[in-house]
Every structure is written in C-alpha cells, then in structure tokens.
Chain A
Amino acid sequence: MNEKSGWGDYVLYVLGVVVIVILARDINVIARLPNEVQQGAIFKIIFFHVPVAITAMFAAAVALIASVLFLITRSFRYDALAVAVTEVGLAFLAANLVTGSIWGRIIWGQWWAWDARLTSALVCWILYAAYLMLRRAVEEPTQRATFAAVWSIFSFIDVPIVIFSIKWWRTQHPQPVFWGGGSIPHEWFAIAGWNLLAMVLLGTVMTAVRVRQEDAQRELDSLRRTAHAM
C-alpha cells in the first residue's frame, strides 16, 4: 500500500466514524421526540426518508457532472466516479422508496400510489439501474464508458421531474415539510440537517470505496491483457 492510499484509508475511516457518531446521536434524539399528533410515531421516518432522497438526488447530480467530464476529457477517472456514485445513489434511492412505501401504508392505507412523485422516483431508479445493466452489456471499455455517460446524462432529465413533481402536479405525496414552507418545529430542522450530513458523508465514503474498486478492476483488466499477450 502506497503513502497516498494509506492517507486515503485514514480519511475514509475517520469519515466513517464521524457518520456513526452523528447517526448514533440522531437516533437517540429522534427516539426521544414526541409523536406527531395526526400521524403518531411513523412520522419520525421522515428523518430517514428525506435525507436518503436528497443524498440520492445529489448522487445523480455528481454522476451527471462526472459523465459530462468523461465525454469532454475521455479520462476514465470520471467514468469510475460516475459508475461509483450511480451505484451508491441507487442504494439510497431504494431506501427512500421503501421507507416511503411503508409510511404510505400507514398514512394512505396503501403501499403505493401511481402519482407523479412516486412514479417519477421509481422511473429514476429504473433508469439508473438500466445504466448499470448497460455497462455490463458492453465489453469494450471506451465504448462502455461513452454509452454509459450518454445514458447517465439522459437519465438525469428525470431528476428535476422527481424534485418538482409535487409543485407541477397534484400528487398524493405531500408538499415538502422541510425547506418548503412546512410548519415543522424549528429544532426538527436541525435534526434533519444532521441526518442529511450523515447520509451525504456515508454516501461519500461508499463512493470513495467504490471508485477504488473501479481502479482495481482496471488494474485487473490490464493484468489479464498482459497475461493473454504473453
């Protein structure tokens, strides 16, 4: 292990510990909060549901930037970042969809509603899952990275639709509670903010690990080519 990688490991471990500390504190604070009068305890799921959604959308934005930079520079570092952050974002979006569905079962009496917000979020998940499938289907690395970058840019079209769907159409999904004019107590903002920070840091650590795996995969491919040539 070289010196750079050693420092990288150190930073990742520190970030991981910071995430665990913030989450442990937040779980303790959230457990002590009073129940919301209309919804009861289930409302507390918002402290997870919203931060994972924002993290997933943030991941999609990073994937877009990395994909554009790959098409401009043709550097595989950006391709590695794009695939890493897309995969991580997909996991966060899955967590968002599942928590939303369970919340909806209690409040709406149904697991799923085909309204604009939920449908566009599901389409977003499918588009980014297709991105990963597309990468598996193309063998040649440059072609794979180019196709994937174009697909990632195309997929990002859905992200503003997910975000603004509740403004543009009448949806069963409520209007934003945080940062959208909701009448939530002020101290709850801070808790949601800390949870969001923890999720973004967790996503960053996961992405960094995943980028390293892409580097290792490229090294492996190169070794295979050398072995084949010998």
Chain B
Amino acid sequence: MHLQSIPLLFAQIATPDDLVREAARLQRNYEFLSYGLTVAWLILVIYVLFMVSRSRKLKREIASLKAMLEDRQKS
C-alpha cells in the first residue's frame, strides 16, 4: 500500500490537463467518501431512532395496560 501526500502527487503530474484531471479525480474521491460515510452512518442512526420509537411505544402500551388492569381490579 503506497501513501502519498497531495502536494507530492501534484508535483509528479506533467501537464496542466493532467493537473485538472487529477484535481477532478481527488474531488470525486472525496465526494464518494463523504457519500459512503454519510449513508452508512444514516443507516445506523435510523436504526437507533427506530429503536427509540419502539421503546417509547412499548412503555406507553405497558403503562396503559397496567392502568386498565388496576381499574378492572378496583371495579
């Protein structure tokens, strides 16, 4: 695996066209990296939100059923 800094990469490029192409490639790389990380984190965050909503629903239903059972026992 070879690592290279961006200035070093630009220094090896021969023509202005190469420079433009390389800049576009880097830009595209960063864009796709950000898409990838955003989508992946979004999946996990949506799942967490789904869990939070399910927890709230369960708590609400348990509380209402307990209240109903207490009422029935009293009456």
Contact = CB atoms under 8 A, between A and B. Distances in A.
Interface string B49-75: 001001100110110011011001000
Given A36-B1, A206-B51, A102 B58 contact: no
Given A42-B33, A213-B58, A48 B40 contact: yes
Interface residues of B, number: 36
A39 B43 CA distance: 25
Contacts of A38: 2
A52 to B, nearest CB: 7
Interface string A84-114: 0000100110110011001101100000000
A156 B68 CA distance: 43
Interface string A32-63: 01111111111011001100100000000000
Contact of B68 (A37, A213, A227): A227
B50 to A, nearest CB: 9
Contacts of B9: 35, 37
Band of interface residues on A: 35 or more
Given A106-B28, A216-B62, A224-B65, A185 B1 contact: yes
A106 B26 CA distance: 11
Contacts of B61: 220
Interface string B1-38: 11111100100000000000000011011101101110
B59 to A, nearest CB: 7
A52 B40 contact: yes
A190 interface: no
Given A44-B33, A213-B55, A35 B4 contact: yes
Nearest to A210: B51
B52 to A, nearest CB: 9
Nearest to B59: A216
Contacts of A9: none
A126 interface: no
A217 interface: yes
Contacts of B25: 40
Interface of A: 33-42, 44-45, 48-49, 52, 88, 91-92, 94-95, 98-99, 102-103, 105-106, 177, 182-185, 188, 202, 206, 209-210, 212-213, 216-217, 219-220, 223-224, 226-227, 230
Listed from nearest, the 10 A-B pairs whose CB atoms lie closest are A102-B36, A40-B29, A37-B2, A95-B40, A37-B4, A41-B29, A91-B47, A223-B65, A216-B58, A42-B29
24 contacts: A34-B3, A35-B5, A35-B26, A36-B2, A37-B3, A37-B4, A42-B29, A42-B32, A42-B36, A44-B33, A94-B43, A95-B40, A95-B43, A102-B36, A103-B32, A206-B47, A206-B48, A209-B51, A209-B55, A212-B55, A213-B55, A223-B65, A226-B69, A227-B65
